[in-house]
Structures are given as C-alpha cells and as structure tokens.
C-alpha cells in the first residue's frame, strides 16, 4: 500500500502481481526537453458526445509496462509483519498468549509487476511512475499492437514518482503530447487510459474533482483529483484532456477496499514534463534544500509576531551546518519569499526550494523582530531526501506554554526532570507541569512534559524567564504569545492567544 494518507487507505495504482506504494511529490524545473507531437483529436467532442476521436488518436501511444522485481526474502532473522504483530498484540492484551510459528526459510524469488506508460517521442521515450519500475531487474514494454520490447531505464526521480524508459522499435512510434494542466478547472472532462489489472488497455472518463490535493506523501504534493475510475495497473498511464493531450500521470487512488471508488490522483503535467525533461538529460534530479523545519503561519502566530496577515513559513528549527544556518536563518523567522517568489504557505517554500539547483544563490525574504530583511543563501544538495524544507504535519506540531493565565503550571527543569524527559544538557527552559483543559494552552495542544525554550524569540532558561516574557508580551498589546516548545526531541512553535486564556 502507499505511503500516502497513512490514516486512511490510499494505494498506488501499480501491479497485477504486486501492489506497492508510491511517493508522489511533484515540482517544476525550468527546462524544455521532451516535446512530443500533438495528438490529432480535433480538440472537441463529437456532436454525439463521444470520446472516440481522442481515444483513436491517443490509445496507440499508451503502453503496458511489465517488470521483473526481486521479491523480498523471508528468513529466520526477519521480524513478524506489522499485521502479525497487531494480531499478536491484540491476543496478548486479552491475556491469551499467541505461540510464535517456527521460522521459515524461503529461497529468494522473482515476481512480475504491472503498470502503464505513454510514448512522448517517436524514437521510443516512455514516461511512467517511478514505483512501476522501482527495484526492477528487467523491464518490458508492450505496445498497443501487442509488440513486446525490452526497455532501458533512462532516469528516475523517486521523490516525484516519475520515471523515463526507452525502447527501440526500429520505426517511428505514435506519440502523445503534453497538455497544460494549469488550465484545468474543476468540472473539466478528462480521460484516463491504462491497463488495470492486466486485462488490456482501458479507457475511463470523468471530471476534474479537485486541484492541489495534498496526500501527505511529501512536501511537494499537488495532485489533480479525478473521478474517472482507475485501478491497480493504471499507474503511469496518461490523464488526457478534451484535446487529447496529457494533463497528468495517473498515480494513486483512495480506496477502502483496494478498488476504484471514484477518487483518483494524478501528477500534473506541467510539473511532470519538466521532471521528464531533466531525467532525459541527466538521468536523475538533484533537489535543492535549505535545512529548516517549518510550519504554517496561523492568525495567532501572525498576531504574536506583529504581522498584519497570515502567510509565509515559520521556521521552527534550523539544522546546523546547512545553507539556512550559514545564511543566518533563525528559529522564529518567517520566510516570506525565495528569489523574489512569494511564499504563502510552507508547501510553497518546499516546492520553491526543490526547484532550485544546488549551488544557486538566492535571496530569502525574512520577517524578524517586527521588520523585514533579506538574507542571501546558497542552495544545498538534498542527498539523503530528508533535509529539504518540509512542512511539519499538523499532528506533529507541539504546543506552547506560559504562565497560569494561559492555563498551565510551570516547573523548573531539575536534573531529575531532565533525566525523565531524556533532554540533552544543552536544552534549557521551563517545564509544563500541568495544563488546564478549559484554557487556551490546552486548546493549542500543550501537554505536560513540554519544555518552553523561548517566548516570542526570547530564550527561556527557567520559569521566571518564561513568566516574565509572557507578561511582557501581554503588556505590549500582543494578541498572542509565540512559544517554542521542545517535545520528544523536536522543536515547534505554537501561538497561544491571550484573549482565549
């Protein structure tokens, strides 16, 4: 199953024999390769309302991709599956011991997996999802006429879930052209073409249900949501508009049962085509990174720092020895622009940073201490996929504390408490000892055991510092107080409104 929508069930559309997850985080890169000839579909529906002209033009350019992947070994040292552990825990909670089975050794196996793709150049360049060919030891492409050809991997980008392969057909192949996904509107008609379950090329119709869907698979999610039925095996197939041009790559579905329920997701073409062009040229993509942990600027946060409106990305933490640290970015800063491009949300910052080439020099617009300033940063390389600017998930955001008027009680960070909370020696602050469930701090999510390390960007070393800084914010007429909280080794900002205290 997919990484995305972990609390629900969202599946990648790949595999008749294997179903695996997809990591889908599209973004744009300014490059211009991968130009395909436009489909001759007439641009409009026939008077009868038929899509036949579009299908006739596009279907020959849609392919089936079959891969041979090495199956995971099952050995004596391997742990139980998560499902096995859940069953075991359930029975043990009821006081019923569940005997462990004897370990089984199985020889390593190979399995077949299935997906779709589409041809964008007459010489055989094929676009698909990365998860369709991930871990493949052999890739084969079957054309619409049944011809099966070996494929060579040209490049992949796991972060955007896009891949490019190449086939040699010995003749020019029919292609399908990129369309303009930015022009799609809710309610526009679309077609999904692919090979669900391996039954053969299939066409389904629907509309654009939503734009900019974030499936929490990463910081670059910007999916097109569609209601055209797509299923396992559709992964990598084209989503086409009424002109017969590709406006998306079918990638995932939301499903309570593994099948289509009319909620599918596609990577927008305006992001995918730039990635494809880069992959054709270089075979891989280097993503830029800053080295910051960020979160949204809510109204309470804006009030606390003196902004007249929400917008930007609040820096919760800066990783040492990163481009952001070298540029002078500090926790509590609000990044409002990158290279002159406005940052409205943390997701904007993530995409803008990912678009930049490592080594690029850009100016960061910063709001700090009630005024704006510009910092020059040299963008780094995201080698391990974990360091780029990433919006913090709502359920991971810690919460503030303050004085009793906010609904909390504070305690000094004694050696015993430091040991209980497993805090490094470098951490100092005031410990939240109690939280009134009817007050603002509780509503903001503050928990007992949280450590307040700063108040309105002013470092806090003890309870006296915390109370004084909160009182000062109240006297200054601030509507909220901005607290930096340490919880479980992570730092995050939380704004608590005075009015609700």
Banded model confidence at residue 399, pLDDT cuts 50, 70, 90: very low
Q: What is the mean pLDDT of residues 278-307?
A: 87
Lowest mean pLDDT among 32-46, 171-185, 231-245, 361-375: 32-46
Q: Let me know: does 400 contact 482? Beta carbons within 8 Å.
A: yes
For residue 73, what are its two tokens? 């070994």
Residues 220 and 215: their CA atoms lie apart, in Å, by: 10
Q: Tens digit of pLDDT for each residue in 170-193?
A: 999 999 999 999 999 999 999 999
Query: Beta strands 110-121 and 62-70: pairing type?
Result: antiparallel
Question: Of the segments 302-311, 336-345, 492-501, which one has the largest average pLDDT value?
Answer: 336-345
pLDDT of amino acid 102: 43
The reply to whether 393 belongs to the active site is no
* 78 pLDDT more than 90: no
Residues 268 and 355: their CA atoms lie apart, in Å, by: 15
The three-state (H, E, C) secondary structure of 92-161, written as one string: HHCCCCCCCCCCCCCCCCEEEEEEEEEEEECCCEEEECHHHHCCEEEEEEECCCCCEEEEEEEEEECCCC
Q: Tens digit of pLDDT for each residue in 452-466?
A: 999 888 898 888 888
For residue 92, what are its two tokens? 């043990």
Banded model confidence at residue 20, pLDDT cuts 50, 70, 90: very low
Q: Let me know: does 213 contact 74? Beta carbons within 8 Å.
A: no
Q: What is the mean pLDDT of residues 370-384?
A: 84
Residues 54 and 44: their CA atoms lie apart, in Å, by: 9
pLDDT of amino acid 451: 92
Of the residues 58, 134, 157, 161, which is catalytic? 161
DSSP 178: B
For residue 499, what are its two tokens? 């009015």
Q: Let me know: does 157 contact 130? Beta carbons within 8 Å.
A: yes
Question: Of the segments 297-306, 365-374, 484-493, which one has the largest average pLDDT value?
Answer: 365-374
Q: Residue 464: count other Cβ atoms within 10 Å of its Cβ.
A: 12
pLDDT of amino acid 488: 85
Q: What is the mean pLDDT of residues 351-362?
A: 87
pLDDT of amino acid 180: 94
* 86 pLDDT more than 60: no
The reply to whether 232 belongs to the active site is no
Burial class (CB in 10 A: 0-12, 13-18, 19+), 3: middle
* 301 pLDDT more than 70: yes
For residue 410, what are its two tokens? 């504070």
Q: At CA 466, angle to CA 435 and CA 444, rounded to 5?
A: 40
Residues 389 and 159: their CA atoms lie apart, in Å, by: 13
Of the residues 2, 116, 209, 235, which is catalytic? 235
Of the residues 116, 131, 157, 227, which is catalytic? 131
Banded model confidence at residue 19, pLDDT cuts 50, 70, 90: very low
Average pLDDT of the residues of the chain: 78
Residues 260 and 240: their CA atoms lie apart, in Å, by: 19
* 23 pLDDT more than 60: no
Q: What is the mean pLDDT of residues 99-109?
A: 48
Q: Tens digit of pLDDT for each residue in 310-325?
A: 999 998 888 888 899 8
Q: What is the mean pLDDT of residues 400-410?
A: 57
pLDDT of amino acid 64: 96
Q: Tens digit of pLDDT for each residue in 241-268?
A: 999 999 999 998 887 776 778 899 999 9
Strands (E), 183-284: 189-194, 202-213, 223-226, 238-240, 246-254, 264-268
The reply to whether 161 belongs to the active site is yes
Banded model confidence at residue 217, pLDDT cuts 50, 70, 90: low
pLDDT of amino acid 385: 39
pLDDT of amino acid 105: 47
Banded model confidence at residue 71, pLDDT cuts 50, 70, 90: low
Q: Let me know: does 426 contact 466? Beta carbons within 8 Å.
A: no
């Amino acid at each position: 199953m997919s990484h995305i929508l972990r609390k629900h069930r969202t599946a990648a559309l790949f595999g008749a024999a294997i179903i695996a997850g997809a990591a889908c985080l599209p973004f744009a890169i300014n490059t211009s390769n991968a130009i395909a000839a436009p489909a001759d579909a007439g641009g409009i529906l026939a008077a009868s309302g038929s899509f036949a002209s579009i299908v006739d033009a596009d279907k020959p350019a849609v392919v089936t991709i079959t891969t041979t992947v090495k199956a995971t070994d099952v050995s004596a040292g391997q742990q139980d599956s998560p499902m096995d552990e859940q069953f075991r825990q359930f029975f043990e909670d009821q006081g019923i011991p569940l005997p462990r089975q004897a370990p089984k050794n199985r020889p390593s196996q190979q399995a077949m997996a299935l997906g779709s793709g589409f041809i964008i150049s007459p010489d055989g360049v094929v676009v698909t999802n990365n998860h369709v060919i991930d871990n493949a030891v052999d890739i084969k492409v079957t054309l619409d006429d049944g011809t099966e050809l070996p494929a060579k991997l040209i490049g992949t980008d796991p972060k955007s879930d896009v891949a490019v392969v190449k086939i040699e057909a010995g003749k020019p192949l029919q292609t399908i052209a990129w369309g303009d996904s930015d022009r799609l509107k809710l309610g526009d008609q679309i077609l999904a073409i692919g090979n669900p379950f391996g039954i053969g090329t299939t066409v389904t119709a629907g509309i654009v249900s939503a734009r900019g869907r974030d499936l929490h698979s990463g910081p670059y999610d910007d999916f097109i949501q569609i209601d055209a039925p797509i299923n396992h095996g559709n992964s990598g197939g084209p989503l086409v508009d009424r002109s017969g041009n590709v406006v998306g790559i079918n990638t995932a579905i939301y499903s309570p049962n593994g099948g289509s329920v009319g909620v599918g997701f596609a990577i927008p073409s305006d992001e995918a085509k730039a990635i494809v062009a880069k992959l054709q040229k270089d075979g891989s993509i280097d993503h830029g990174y800053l080295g910051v942990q960020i979160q949204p600027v809510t109204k309470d946060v804006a009030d606390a720092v003196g902004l007249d409106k929400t917008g930007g990305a609040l820096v919760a933490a800066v990783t040492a020895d990163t481009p952001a640290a070298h540029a002078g970015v500090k926790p509590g800063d609000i990044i409002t622009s990158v290279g002159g491009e406005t940052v409205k949300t943390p997701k904007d910052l993530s995409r803008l940073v990912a678009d930049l080439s490592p080594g690029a020099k850009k100016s960061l617009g910063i709001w700090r201490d009630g005024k704006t300033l510009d910092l020059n940063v040299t963008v780094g390389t995201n080698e391990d996929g974990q360091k780029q600017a990433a919006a913090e998930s709502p359920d991971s955001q810690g919460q503030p504390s303050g004085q009793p008027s906010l609904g909390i009680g504070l305690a000094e960070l004694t050696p015993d408490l430091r040991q209980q909370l497993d805090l490094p020696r470098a951490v100092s602050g005031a410990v939240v000892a109690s939280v009134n469930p009817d007050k603002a701090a509780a509503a903001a999510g503050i928990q007992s055991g949280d450590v307040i390390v700063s108040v309105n960007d002013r470092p806090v070393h003890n309870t006296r510092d915390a109370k004084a800084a909160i009182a000062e914010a109240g006297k200054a007429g601030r509507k909220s107080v901005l607290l930096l909280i340490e919880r479980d080794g992570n730092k995050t900002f939380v704004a608590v409104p005075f009015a609700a205290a």
